[in-house]
Amino acid sequence: MPKKNMICPECGGKFQSEASMDWHGFLHTECPFCQKTSKYPLEQGQKMAYSFMLVFTFITFVVPLYHGAWKYAISALWGLFFVASKLDESYRIEKKQEEAVRKAYMNREREGEEENLVPKGQD
């Protein structure tokens, strides 16, 4: 597997990793900065595949419903929920990453300021 650019959703650290993928298409890898193993968002192609599945499951839900085939509609509804929850999960991880990056950036800014206020190695 080629190395991928990752952003840790816990600490906002950026690194490259050969992540392993679970059967839902999510990558899992350990962050070299905080040593936490996290789930990573879906990639663009996977998101497109899930979006396509969302449309497809929606059709398989609506069509039987229209024909009054409740059993089929209900089983399709589970698929619809599943696909939607995966897209939602990916979206949430992305939000968490953004937050972590922003926090990491703010910490760096603060540390930089402290360095300027209290120069090291000077009495």
Q: According to the binding rule CB under 5 A, does residue 89 interact with Zn ion?
A: no
Token reading at 42 = 């879906």
Q: Phi, psi (5° rounding) for residue 39?
A: -95, 140
Q: Distances in Å between the alpha carbon of 67 and those of 35, 61, 74, 111?
A: 53, 10, 13, 64
Candidate residues 6, 7, 27, 31; the one interacting with Zn ion per rule CB under 5 A: 31
Q: According to the binding rule CB under 5 A, does residue 6 interact with Zn ion?
A: no
E strand segments, the chain: 4-7, 14-17, 20-21, 27-30, 37-40
- Comparing CB distances to Zn ion, the nearer of 3 and 67 is 3
Q: According to the binding rule CB under 5 A, does residue 8 interact with Zn ion?
A: yes
What residue has token string 């040593």? 35
The least CB distance from residue 7 to Zn ion, in Å, is 9
The least CB distance from residue 15 to Zn ion, in Å, is 8
What is the x/- site pattern for Zn ion, positions 32-51, by CB under 5 A? -xx-----------------
- Comparing CB distances to Zn ion, the nearer of 33 and 56 is 33
